[in-house]
Each structure stands twice: as C-alpha cells, then as structure tokens.
Amino acid sequence: MQHLIENITILTAAPVINLGLLIDGILIGAIFALAAYGLALVWGVMNVKNLAQGDFIMTGGYIAWSLGRHGIQPLFGVPLAFVLLWGIGYVIYYLVVRKVITRDLFTSLLATFGIAICLQQTLNLIFGPDTQSAQADLPTWQFADGLISIAATRLIGFALAVILAIAVVLFMKNSRMGQAIRATAQDARAARVLGIEPEKVYAFTFSLNAAICGAVGALVVLVWNVQPFLGTTYSIRLFVIVTAAGVGNLPGVIAAGFGMGVFEQFGGFLFGAEFQQALIVILLLGVLTFRILQLRRFRQAVQ
Amino acid sequence: MNRNTLALIGITVLGLIAPFLLPQYSNEIAVMWLMIVFASTWDVLGGQMGYNSLGNIVFFGAGMYISAIVQIGLYYDVAMYTSGARTTHIVFTHAQYFTGFTLGVFAAGIGAAILAVLAGFILFGLRGPYFAIGTLGLAIAAAEIVASWTYVGAASGVSMPVFPGGPEAQKLYFYFLLFALALGTLVFLRWLYATKFGLALNAIRDDEQKAEAMGLQTKQYKRFAWALSAIPLGISGAVFGNMTGFIDPREIAFPTTTFNIFMVLMVLLGGKGTLWGPVIGAVLFHVIKEVTWTYFLGWQYIALGLLIVITVVYFPQGIVGWLTENYPNVFGERPKDERNSVKAPVLESAE
C-alpha cells in the first residue's frame, strides 16, 4: 500500500512519466492488438476459442531468439516465425482442431489447452525454463532529461505490427480467400452453398492465426522477453481484449489491445511487476462482470 | 441392495485393507483417494450441471492455506512463523497439533464453501467457455496473489506443523483421513444426485433457460452446488497440506497445469455426468500416471497434454459412456439421450 501511494505521488509529481508510460503502452498495445485480432478471427470464423494462442506467440518468440543466438539479426525472425508457425498451425489444425470444430465449445477449449501444455513443455525441454530476450542492437532515444526513453526496437515492433495488421485487414477485405473467410463467418451453410469449402477456409484461418501469433512472438522477444510458461498469461490477456471488445468488432479489438498495453504499463508501474499476472486476471474478471451486468440489463427488459 | 451400494461396500473393504495389503504404496493409494475426491467434486459442476470449471483447484489451495493459517495462528504469530528470518524453534505439542488440525479442517471446508459462493456471484453469470476461462483466470490469480502475499510466506511457502508421531502412524493417519473423505464424498454425491437438487442440476445442464422458466432459482442452485463441491475440496486441501508437510502456492496449493487439469481429464476419461465415471477415471489415470510417470524423463507433461487432446478428440464419451453405449443391457441404466451433457452443436459446415 505504502509502495502504491509512493508511486502515485511520483506520477503526479512528474507528469512526464505518464507520457512515457503512455507511449510504451501504445507501442506494446499494437502487438497485443495484432494477436487479439488473430484470436478474434478464429473465434469468429470457426467458433473455436484457442487457448494455445499465447503458446504460439512464445514459439514464435523462441524462433526469433534462436536466430539472434546464431548471430543473425532477430528482426528476420518476424517473417521466419510467420512461415514456420503457419506450418505448425496447419499441422495442429489437421490433427486436432478439425475434429473439434463441430463439437461443443468446451471440447475445443480443452483440446487447445492440451495443445498449449504440449507446446509449453516442448519449449521448456528445448530452450529451458529461463526468461530470454533477443538483442537487436538498436539505439534507445532519450527525451525529457531521460524520463522518457523510446527504444528503437519498440518503435520497429510497433511499425511492423501496424504494417502486418494493415496487410491482414486488406487481405481480409479484398482477396478471394479473405472474402471466403468472412462469408463463412457470417453463415457457414450459405457459404457452402455458394461453393466455398469450409474445410479449406478453416484450415487457412487457423494457420493464418498461428502465423500472426508467430510474427507477434518474434516482436515480443525483441521488445520484451519470452519464457515457456508465459503463454497462458498471453492467452488470458488476449481473451480479455477480445471479450472486452466483442468478437465481431475489429476496431474495438484494436482499441482494446492498445488499452491493454497502456493498462499494463501503468499497472506494472503502480503495483510492481510481480502483480502483472494477477492484474491481468483481475481485469479479466472485471470485464466479464461488466458483460454480465450488461446482459442483466438486457434480461430485465425481456422480463 | 442395488449395484451402487454394492460398489460402495466393495470400495470400503478395499480401502480399509489396502494400506495393510500394500504398505509400501500407501502414500500413492492415499493420493488416489484424493484424485477420486477431485474427480467426483469436479463432476458435480462439470458433469451434472454442465458448467465446466477450470478453476476448482482454487478451493483445494484455499483450504490448504486456511488450515495452515488456523493451525499456526492458534499458537503463534503467522507472519513470524513464515518469515525467512525466523530464529525461534517452534514445536507443536500433541494436543496443539490435533486441536489445530481439526479446527483447520473445519475452517478449510467452511472457508472453501464461502469462497465458492462469493466467486459464484461473479462467475455464474458466465456461460459455457466463458465460465471455463473465467475460472481458469481465478485459479491463476489465486496462485499469483498468494505467491506475493508475504504474510503466508509468499512464493517460498509454509512448512506445516510436524505430525507428532512416527512416520508409519502419520502415513496411516492421513491415508484413512483421505479415504474417509473420498468415501464420504461418494456417499454424499450418490445421495445428492438422487434428490430433487440433483434433478435441478441436470435441468440446468440440459437447458438453463427452460429450467429458469420452470421456476427454478438457477442462480441459487448453481452457487449452492459449487459450494457443496468446494467443501470436500477444501478439506482435502487441508489434509493434503499436512500430509506433504510443506505447502507452496504454485506447485502444491494452486497447480493449474497438474492437479487442476487432472480433475477435468480424469472425469473425461471415466465419463462425464455419472457417479462412477469420475471414480474409474481417477483410479485409471492415477495408476497409469504412477506406473509410467518416472519413465518419461521430462516428457511427462507433453504426454499429459497429448492425453488431454486424445481423450477430448477421440474418446469424448469416457469409459462409462462407452460402456453404456456398447453394452446397454449390462451398464445402460439411463436413457440414451441423457448421456451427453452437452447439446449437439449445430455447425452445419464440416462433416
């Protein structure tokens, strides 16, 4: 409590720190928004809630980190992780997800949770349980007498996330496959009647999501760090974002992603980094409670 | 005398002679009873009520910590006891230990039930997968919050009071406690599922809106059912904490990826929504785990993940479900459409 009050005092005494936290939050929020978009995509199109989302991110992060360890610029990990995770996503789709799409939601949730456990333990066996981060050897700019520091990696991460997000959105809007995905999300049966093969659309959507996560992971390892068991935290974070925004609401998902980034920066500053996970989960419960209250209002109108 | 009663008597006899028949395995068998408690209580919500919780471990861990605080707090200052800088030597006398333990067990059961009711206020507004994610979040949050709470020793955990008596006496004592708890839970659930309350739970599972329209106070039922399933979990946490002698938040009290997921897996393996499915699943899973775990050398959690995926994808009806489906003359006690706790999904596309 003492600690918290001191931190609030610091924030009010030096408002420029607020700005620093805000900028950091927005730079990181772009990454969250991108991964949350992938989650919302699979959720909306296939009605599968992917609990392995965070572990895909971690896998992508470790791919970029391995590049960095072998003396290659880890930024190249972004496209590489995109491609590799596309493959992993495709394999997982064919082995597991394909069989649970038509079943109830808890089945798919549990199946993806099983995948998450497999992935995090595999990462743990290969890379060990230590926290890792890749160094891109890029400068950090200081503003306002060093109170605001913007690392070039964060800026690049932000830019790449924005570019990737624009590419995905354009793809979904204009390409044939993107249209097929959106059609299937709207009405799977009608899409089928019009000659779209849902099976192909599902495989593509799931692989695309895994690939996005891979790229996100490569960015995460640059601006932050990866650890085999951090995946679940990411999954929950993304669930918070998507639940807060609503599945079909793309601008909402992106806004909530930025909100999450900013919230975490401030929360981490005020409460200390050890409460980070707890804060995310409390936010989840808060968002869910808010949704219940919304529904309750709706239910009263029905009564 | 029907088959259920016979089976319960059989379990009682086996449970009573097991520690003397296989004395070297009595700890493993004690954990098996714990697993039966886990699976049967999970099934109250997951199988009978259709609310798949991924956070029931919260009550186990909460019971563990509540009993620890009661046992220590009765005689010493908890913060001093758990602090790393403790210099005084602490002993619990015979009377102190058993008074503390008995009160701790009661407090754990009551505390877990209260916690379930409170959590139910928030979480039972959620349906389906949202409930599962919400409860998973609750479990992770509980582990993290306890891990940064210095009063109970934060992440480094608490050493429980030492059992006054030899290791043999300790083994038997905790064995019979867990056995009695498992048996009591089964007898209680068997009775519960036959009452109007059990029918109300099934009504909620089959169609919550309709149940509500028929005048069932579904919210009260759900909270009460969760509280009922939390009581044995809280007590088992208290007993297990004393049995291991040392508790820590992430690995023992709130292990999200081990005990927590075992609960679900055991029920799915045995068959959801049946009285004996969770028991069979728990026994089978525990035996397989104990026999094979040591041979996996770090691969055991990957095997666990694969087992989850395979069970969920290829064997969703569980052993009891499979038996009732294939041998309805012998095992089919219920009409067929009641077997699946979940409505058939209507997603027309993939076949």
Residue A302 predicted with pLDDT over 50: no
Contact A114 B145 (CB under 8 A): no
Name the residue among A49, A114, A125 with its Cβ closest to that of B298.
A125
Distance from the Cα of B348 to chain A's closest Cα (Å) equals 6
Higher pLDDT pick, B327 / A54: A54
For A2-302, CATH number out of 1.10.3470, 1.10.1760, 1.20.140, 1.10.10 equals 1.10.3470
The residue among B133, B156, B269 with the most chain A CBs within 10 A of its CB, best to mutate, is B133
For residue B98, give both structure tokens.
């058993």
Q: For residue A51, what is the nearest residue in chain B, using CA coordinates?
A: B133
User: Within a 10 A sphere around the Cβ of A58, how many other Cβ atoms?
Assistant: 29
Cβ count near B331 (within 10 Å): 18
How close, in Å, is residue B93 to chain A by CA atoms?
37
The average pLDDT across A175-202 equals 87
3-class secondary structure, A140: strand
Q: What is the CB-side half-sphere exposure of residue A37 using CA atoms within 13 A?
A: 26
Token digits for A300?
């009263």
Both tokens of residue B31? Answer: 């954990």
Residue with tokens 């932000």: A158
Give contacts of A 233-272 with B, CB under 8 A. 233, 236, 239, 243
pLDDT of residue B88: 65
How do strand A140-143 and strand A148-151 relate by DSSP bridges? antiparallel
Complex prediction ipTM: 0.79
In chain A, where are the structural domains located?
Answer: 2-302
Query: What is chain B's mean pLDDT, rounded?
Result: 84
- Cβ–Cβ below 8 Å for A117 and B261: yes
User: What number of C-beta contacts closer than 8 Å exist between A and B?
Assistant: 146
Give contacts of B 133-162 with A, CB under 8 A.
Answer: 133-134, 136-138, 140-141, 144-145, 147-148
Instruction: Classify residue A97 by its DSSP letter.
Output: I
Closest Cα in chain A, distance from residue B265 (Å): 9
What is the predicted pLDDT for the residue at A298? 59
At B126 the pLDDT is: 78
In the predicted model, what is the mean pLDDT of residues B113-121?
A: 91
Nearest CA in chain B to A184: B349
pLDDT of residue B34: 93
Q: What is the 3-state secondary structure (H, E, C) of chain B?
A: CCHHHHHHHHHHHHHHHHHHHCHHHHHHHHHHHHHHHHHHHHHHHHHHHCCCCCCCHHHHHHHHHHHHHHHHHCCCCHHHHHCCCCCCCCCCCHHHHHHHHHHHHHHHHHHHHHHHHHHHHHHCCCCHHHHHHHHHHHHHHHHHHHHCCHHHCHHHCEECCCCCCCHHHHHHHHHHHHHHHHHHHHHHHHHHHHCHHHHHHHHHHHCHHHHHHCCCCHHHHHHHHHHHHHHHHHHHHHHHHHHHCEECHHHHHCCCCCHHHHHHHHHHHHCCCCCHHHHHHHHHHHHHHHHHHHHCCCCHHHHHHHHHHHHHHHCCCHHHHHHHHHCHHHHCCCCHHHCCCCCCCCCCCCC
B213 Cβ contact list (under 8 Å, min separation 6): none
Q: What is the pTM of this model?
A: 0.82
Between A79 and A302, residue with greater pLDDT: A79
SS3 A6: helix
Tens-place pLDDT, residues A275-299:
777 788 778 778 877 877 777 665 5
Query: Are B256 and A281 contacting, i.e. CB atoms less than 8 angstroms apart?
Result: no
- pLDDT, residue B61, reads 93
Mutation target for A interface from B54, B136, B258: give the one with most A CBs within 10 A: B136
The domain limits of chain B are 3-262
Q: How confident is the model at residue A62 (pLDDT cuts 50, 70, 90)?
A: very high
Rounded to an integer, what distance in angstroms lies between the CA atom of residue A138 and that of residue A37?
28
Instruction: Evaluate whether A162 touches A215 at the Cβ level (below 8 Å).
Output: no
Residue B334 has pLDDT above 90, yes or no: no
Backbone angles phi, psi at B11, to 5 degrees: -60, -40
Query: Is B28 near chain A, with CB under 8 Å?
Result: no
Q: Are A52 and A115 in contact (CB under 8 A)?
A: yes
Q: pLDDT grade, residue A267 (50/70/90)? A: confident
* pLDDT, position A144: 63
The mean pLDDT of A76-97, rounded to a whole number, is 91
Tens digit of pLDDT for each residue in B174-199?
999 999 999 999 999 999 988 999 99
Q: Give the integer Cα–Cα distance in Å for B301 and A119.
A: 10
The whole-chain average pLDDT of chain A stands at: 83
pLDDT over threshold 50, residue A84: yes
CA angle, A158 as apex, A156 and A160 as ends, to 5°? 65
Q: Touching check for A274 and chain B: CB below 8 Å?
A: yes
* Beta carbons of B41 and B56 less than 8 angstroms apart: yes
Please give the structure tokens belonging to residue A155: 């800026």
Task: Select from B140, B257, B312 the Cβ nearest to the Cβ of A236.
Answer: B140
Question: For helices B57-73 and B128-147, what crossing angle results, to 10°?
Answer: 30
pLDDT in tens, B10-58: 888 888 888 888 888 888 889 999 999 999 999 999 888 888 888 899 9
Q: What is the spatial distance between Cα B55 and Cα A113, in angstroms, rounded to a whole number?
A: 13
Paired residues of A148 in beta bridges: A143
> Lowest mean pLDDT: which of A265-274, B57-66, B85-94?
B85-94
State the Cα–Cα distance between residues B112 and B214, nearest whole angstrom.
30
Residue B312: both structure tokens together: 């969920």
End-to-end CA distance of chain B: 46
Residues near B262 by Cβ (< 8 Å), separated by ≥ 6?
Answer: B35, B38, B285
Q: What is the pLDDT of residue B224?
A: 92
pLDDT in tens, A9-23: 777 777 777 787 888
Give the C-alpha separation, A279 to A281, whole Å.
5
Query: Which residues on B lie below 8 Å from A278 (Cβ)?
Result: 141, 144-145, 148
Cβ atoms of residues B55 and B139 within 8 Å: yes
Which of B137, B304, B309 minimises the CB distance to A96? B309
Q: How far apart are CA B63 and CA B197, in angstroms?
A: 25
pLDDT in tens, B213-264: 888 888 889 999 999 999 999 999 999 999 988 888 888 888 877 888 888 8
pLDDT higher than threshold 80 for residue B120? yes
